[in-house]
Amino acid sequence: MNVAFNCLLEEYKTPFGCVMENQPCSLTVKVPDYYAVSGVDVILTTDTAYGMQVSFELTDTQDGYQIYKTQFSLPRCGLYFYHFRCQGAQGPFQVYRCGETDTSINQGDLWQLTCYPRQFHTPKAYAGAVMYQIFPDRFFRSGSCDLTEKLQPYWVHENWDDTPHYLPNEHGEVLNNDFFGGNLRGIREKLPYLKRMHVDVIYLNPISMAFSNHRYDTADYMRPDPMLGTEEDFSALCADAHKLGMKVILDGVFSHTGSNSVYFDRNHIFGHGAVSDPNSPYRSWFDFQEYPNRYTSWWGIDTLPCVNEMDPAFLEHIITGENSVIAHWMSLGADGFRLDVADELPDDFIALFRQRLKELNPEALLLGEVWEDASNKISYGARRKYFSHGELDSVMNYPFRSAILSFLAQPDANRFRANIMSVVEHYPQEVLHCLMNSLSTHDTPRILTLLGDSFDGSKQEKANRFLSEDAKLWAVRRECAAAALQFTLPGMPCIYYGDEAGLEGFEDPFNRRCFPWGRELTSLQTAYESLSRIKGRYAALKRGHITFENPNDHVIHFIRTLNGQRIHTIVNGGSDPMTLPITGQLLFQSYINMEKRLLHLEPWGVAIILE
């Protein structure tokens, strides 16, 4: 018998997961009688010198255990780690976490407890919303735009179905200056399609003026790229989206600018950048080791000079000024921002950004790009305060993506549960329900390709490599299973444009092909449409608790529960069919045979059932 403590069960810890500052937290520890313990303490520590020690009270003996209980509250926000110290007959010993639910003596892991501000809240509209990510150049082209001020050189593909250019030029440089002409009017024209897909939130990759097609090399924060259109086009897009009940989120790139920009002006085009003008008002934004040729750049890429985010002039331009970048785009109709590479932005910058954003619109969303568990992330030697200090409403939830892909590659339902519940435990509940849950993004291979082709050849080989018909059928089956998990787990499922239409592609730029209008894979599109409708219709899928009832290692079965509404998601990852009774209304099915009141799930079959 081990010391019993399972932080995932209310029997041992309430509330589940995180706590607000000064919120009572109750713990119960069961110690076997034969340990002859005379006292138990919980030891809470932080990365700073601050910590707490709280004593337990012996309240009962039961089934060979001494039952110890305590209650405490944390007066300071922060990330805490805790373990237990027991006073035994032979002296004190420590109790640590062992795996997901067990304990071990004098060695093991610490439990984690996030304490966040009591006044922290996320915008209600985003809980369980359906998000749609658009790479603007590749979604849809409507009419033409005035390209007079488009940064040179660039070229536009004549064929919408071309493969994006990937080969280096004669200098060995990949310029990313090939365009397809997708624009803001094109997105606006396709809003009825997004509405049919039950989309609630549109997330746009960068739209500000830039040299490249990805536009992460900002040239002017205050204007749209000429290839995309005008401020009026953006305002019209937001206005029409709002009429249809959709929000529009922009991509904020604030750790660096482009070298070919108003601010840096290495090409001497704009006239008053930090390089072209030694007295430039933007000079203090950048870190020059040897002016003007040696400077700090993002990951050593000299076309992406890093900015000093806490420079007063930069802060005024981006955040605090009356017509700052935030204020400018919010006034045009934006509903929030995704912060690119949030790990590389100082906590103080993010806190100021949030403060101004919420002053402009308390219901605006602030989402950060973080690839790992954002609750305990350490970047550049510092523990981040995304949740413990209420900085971000949401993050890109790559841990859920990793859990789904891991299960699809090698089914292990218990490992899947542990990976999911780790995030559920570590994140504040309001954050959990508006996490951005993606299967693909502009930074990853397309989900259909990942599930159908493990090829690892050269970029040139990947450029024109597509799935065979048989491989595609199998990949589509598995993508339906992945999407069912994506849409029924806590958070905002985010469709990367074209995933629902069967777009394929390895890594950048092949994952950024144009949307295949008129050639969509309708079976997959219908599945996504159904999942989006279900997500929007049932409150349990938006804000409900999650529990697991996995029957074996190859089958995922979890339940979302809210106010008596219970929705089951079952995915068969085994190589053999499985049978289960129909215990309610079948909301969604994929690769299932029905016989009277029985469901037969084929391999990678899915059932979503309202109990």
> What residue spans of 78-204 are helical by DSSP H?
184-189, 191-196
Q: How far apart are CA 429 and CA 122, in angstroms?
A: 10
- Phi (first) and psi of residue 333, to 5 degrees: 125, 0
CATH topology (fold) of 13-116: Immunoglobulin-like (2.60.40)
End-to-end alpha-carbon separation of the chain, Å?
37
Whether 129-143+180-256+305-537 shares its CATH topology with 545-610 is answered: no
Residue spans per domain, the chain: 13-116, 129-143+180-256+305-537, 257-304, 545-610
137, 178, 369, 391: the catalytic one is: 369
CA dist 411 and 415 (Å) reads 9
Report CA dihedral (484, 489, 494, 498) to the nearest 10 degrees: -10
Q: What pLDDT, on the 0 to 100 scale, is given for residue 597?
A: 86
Range 45-49 contact pairs with CB under 8 angstroms and sequence separation of 24 or more:
45/80, 45/81, 45/82, 45/110, 46/78, 46/79, 46/80, 46/81, 47/79, 47/383, 48/78
What is the spatial distance between Cα 158 and Cα 396, in angstroms, rounded to a whole number? 34
Which CATH code of 2.60.40.10, 1.10.287.370, 3.40.1350.10, 3.20.20.80 fits the domain covering 129-143+180-256+305-537? 3.20.20.80
pLDDT, residue 297, reads 98
Structure tokens at 290: 């040897």
pLDDT tens digits for range 60-93: 999 999 999 999 999 999 999 999 999 998 899 9
What value does the mean pLDDT take over residues 528-540? 98
Residue showing tokens 């080969």: 167
Please give the share of the chain, as a percent, with pLDDT higher than 90.
98
| Per-residue model confidence (pLDDT) at position 588 | 98
Are the CB atoms for 538 and 567 separated by under 8 Å? yes
Cβ atoms of 255 and 369 within 8 Å: the answer is no
Would you say 387 and 116 are in contact if contact means Cβ atoms under 8 Å apart?
yes
Token pair for 280: 């430039």
Number of Cβ atoms within 10 Å of the Cβ of 65 = 17
Reduced 3-state DSSP string for 365-391: EEEECCCCCCCCCEECCEECCCCCCCC
Distance (Å, rounded) from C-alpha 437 to C-alpha 401? 7
CA distance 427 to 20: 12
CB contact set of 595 (below 8 Å; sequence gap of 6+): none
Asked about 200 being catalytic, the answer comes back as no
Task: State how far the Cα of 433 lies from the Cα of 449, in Å rounded to an integer.
Answer: 28
Q: Is the pLDDT of residue 550 over 90?
A: no
Total-model pTM: 0.98
Angle between helices 413-426 and 398-409 (to 10 degrees): 170
Q: Where are the beta strands (DSSP E) in 199-324?
A: 201-204, 208-210, 218-224, 247-252, 288-290, 294-295
Mean pLDDT of the 243-250 span: 98
| Averaged pLDDT score across all residues of the chain | 97
Q: Kindly report, residue by residue over 181-225, the tens digit of the pLDDT.
A: 999 999 999 999 999 999 999 999 999 999 999 999 999 999 999
Which is it for strands 365-368 and 336-339: parallel, antiparallel or unpaired?
A: parallel
Q: State the DSSP code for 308.
A: -
pLDDT of 362 reads 98
CA-based max dimension of the chain: 83
Residue 220 β-bridge partners? 209
pLDDT at 336: 98
Q: At what angle do helices 469-488 and 522-537 cross, to 10 degrees?
A: 10
CA atoms within 13 A on the CB side of 74: 28
Please tell me the predicted confidence (pLDDT) of residue 1.
Answer: 86
**How many angstroms from the chain centroid is the CA of residue 433?**
11
> 119-149, pLDDT tens digit by residue?
999 999 999 999 999 999 999 999 999 999 9
Torsion of CA 257, 388, 390, 560, to 10 degrees: 110
Q: Which helix (H) or strand (E) holds 325?
A: helix 325-331
HSE at residue 486, side-chain half, CA atoms within 13 A, is: 31
Nearest-angstrom CA–CA distance, 566 and 610 = 6
pLDDT of residue 596: 82
* Per-residue pLDDT tens over the stretch 354-413: 999 999 999 999 999 999 999 999 999 999 999 999 999 999 999 999 999 999 999 999
For 69, phi then psi, to 5°, come to -135, 150
Question: What is the per-residue pLDDT across 409-450, written as a single tens digit (0 to 9) for each?
Answer: 999 999 999 999 999 999 999 999 999 999 999 999 999 999
Marked catalytic residue, from 220, 265, 340, 393: 340
Q: What CATH superfamily is the domain 545-610?
A: Golgi alpha-mannosidase II (2.60.40.1180)
pLDDT for res 90: 86
Q: How far apart are CA 551 and CA 206, in angstroms?
A: 44
Under DSSP, is residue 57 helix (H, G, I), strand (E, B) or coil?
strand
Q: For position 381, what pLDDT does the model report?
A: 92
**Residue 49: its pLDDT value, please?**
84
Q: Is 369 in the active site?
A: yes
The whole-angstrom separation of Cα 150 and Cα 270 is 13
Burial 442-469 (b: 16+ CB within 10 A, else e): bebbbbbbbbbbeeeeeeeebbeeebee
Q: What is the distance between the alpha carbons of residues 405 and 450, in angstroms, rounded to a whole number?
A: 9
Coil, strand or helix: which one is 511?
helix
Query: What is the pLDDT at residue 607?
Result: 97
* Beta bridge partner(s), residue 607: 570, 589
Residues 6+ apart with CB under 8 A from 397: 423, 435, 436, 437, 438, 491
